[in-house]
Amino acid sequence: MRKHKGLIMLGLAAAVIVIMLVSTSVGPVKISIMDIIRMLLHKIGVLHSTAGWQPTEETIVFQVRLPRVLGAALVGAALSTAGVLFQGLLRNPMADPYIIGTASGASFGATLAMLLPLSVVFYGFGLVPIAAFLGALATVLIVYRLARFGGKAPIVSMLLAGFVVSSFLVAIVMLLLTMSDRLGLRLQQVFSFLMGGISVTYWQQIAVIAPLVIIGIIIAQLFAGHLNAFSVGEESASYLGINVEREKMLILGIGSLLTACAVSIGGLIGFVGLIMPHAMRLSLGPDHRLLLPASALAGASFLMLADLLARTLLSPAQIPVGVLTALIGAPFFIYLLRHARREYAF
């Protein structure tokens, strides 16, 4: 399976485009893929022929579906990349983007936001996603400071601090839920956010998140060679000329930023950040120079697919995306594992 790396990468890139078109085409209002392509070409001024589609269809595609599909792609790419970063840095195959506290920080932020009677809109983001974003980042910062001692932040300390801070924050969230009427009445909203669901309403949100995610992925790629070196241990990485503490901080920062971006659009979607890196490692090997872009592409496709199913399977009811990522992802991963058992020398 490792042999056709070039082909696999090409396939992944093609899959993103295909799935994006299919996702944009499917929904309560049927719009054909050809129409969508024409709409896109018309929009960018390439195609000039008169529109053969309804204006409402154009509204739906550009104002409702496309932002959501792009949001799903960004979330998938961000979470997968973050997963690769954390697994490589922490040398821990069980690491996922939420491991050092981003999840509990986001929940905490979101819960606080739902308590406040403020109605804030910032580039299309309401108070809840903003608070989730900030909560995620703030928590990582706290965990890092707690683990840092004598100029170094050992991995084990970070994992422990992450666990402790997470437990604490989760406890506070529970406390808030028990104490507040107002919050209690909006319990459904809290859970809806936490269980994960792509919620992109405005293009501005994409305009803010997309550059952050793309830059984050590019910077991650710059660290690819060094991440390979980290795999053999922090000390050995240092012997190979890497400024370990500084790069650790940077990589953690990028990983946390990507996770925070994902959470601000999709809530806490699990499974993707943990499994996509493994799936790509099984197909392409552990070299981060390939692993990073492959995981980003695969994650984008996977999440667009999951979101598509989430909103069509039980239409008009919407299944939380996190449920679907686990339902599709688990059997797919078992299949991969069985076919590559010998290769997966963990």
Partner 1 sequence: MLSEPANLLLQDAGFAYTGGFGMHHINLFVPDGEMTGLLGPNGSGKTTLLKLATGVLPLAEGDICVGGVSLRKISRREVAQKIAVVPQQFNIPFAYSVEEVVLLGRTPFIRGLFGEDKRGHQMVTDALEVTGMIEFRNRYFNELSGGERQKVVLAMAIAQEPTLLLLDEPTAHLDINHQVEILELLRKLNREQKMTVVAAMHDLNLSALYFDRLVLLDHGSIFADGTPDTVITKEIIRKVFFASVDVSQHPRSHVPQIVMLPEDTQPN
Partner 2 sequence: MKNFWLIVIALAMFLTMAAGCSSNKTAASLTDDLGQTINIKGTPQRIVSLAPSDTEILFALGLGSKVVGTDSDSDYPTAATTLPHVGSGYPSFDIETIVNLKPDLVIGFGYTKPDYVSQLENLGIPVVILAPKDVSGVISDLTMVGKITGATSQAKTLATSIQNSLNTIEAKVKGVTDPRVLWEFDGTNPSNPWVAGPGSFSDSMITLVGGQDVGASGPASSWQMSTEDIIKADPQIIILDDYQFGVTVQSVEQRPGWSAITAVKDGAIYPITDSDLTDRPGPRVIDGFQILAQFIHPELFK
* Cβ at position 328, least distance to partner 1 in Å: 25
Q: Which is nearer to partner 1, 115 or 240 (CB)?
A: 240
Q: Is 315 near partner 2 (CB under 8 A)?
A: yes
Q: Which is nearer to partner 2, 90 or 113 (CB)?
A: 113
**228 interface partner picked from partner 1, partner 2, none, CB below 5 to 8 A per type:** partner 1
Could you give the CA distance from residue 85 to residue 75 in angstroms, rounded to a whole number?
15
Q: Is 344 near partner 1 (CB under 8 A)?
A: yes
Q: Which is nearer to partner 1, 5 or 38 (CB)?
A: 5
**Residues in Cβ contact with 90 at an 8 Å cutoff, skipping those fewer than 6 apart:** 99, 155, 158, 159
Could you give the CA distance from residue 12 to residue 93 in angstroms, rounded to a whole number?
23
Phi-psi region of 91 (alpha: psi -120 to 50; beta: other; left: phi over 0): left
* Cβ at position 88, least distance to partner 1 in Å: 8
Closest CA to 326 of 188, 166, 195, 132: 195
Judged by CB under 8 A, which of 43, 236, 314, 337 binds partner 1? 236
Segment interacting with partner 2 (CB under 8 A) among 74-82, 140-148, 177-185, 269-277:
177-185
**Residues in Cβ contact with 41 at an 8 Å cutoff, skipping those fewer than 6 apart:** 47
**181 interface partner picked from partner 2, partner 1, none, CB below 5 to 8 A per type:** partner 2
Closest CA to 97 of 228, 256, 250, 247: 256
Tokens 């979330």 — which residue?
75
151-to-146, 171, 190, 244 alpha-carbon distances in Å: 12, 30, 38, 11
Binding site for partner 2 (CB under 8 A): 27-29, 56, 59-60, 63-65, 67-68, 114, 117-119, 121, 126, 128, 177-178, 181, 184-186, 188-189, 192-193, 197, 199-203, 311, 314-318
Binding site for partner 1 (CB under 8 A): 91-93, 150, 221-222, 224-226, 228-229, 231-233, 235-236, 238-243, 281, 285-287, 343-346
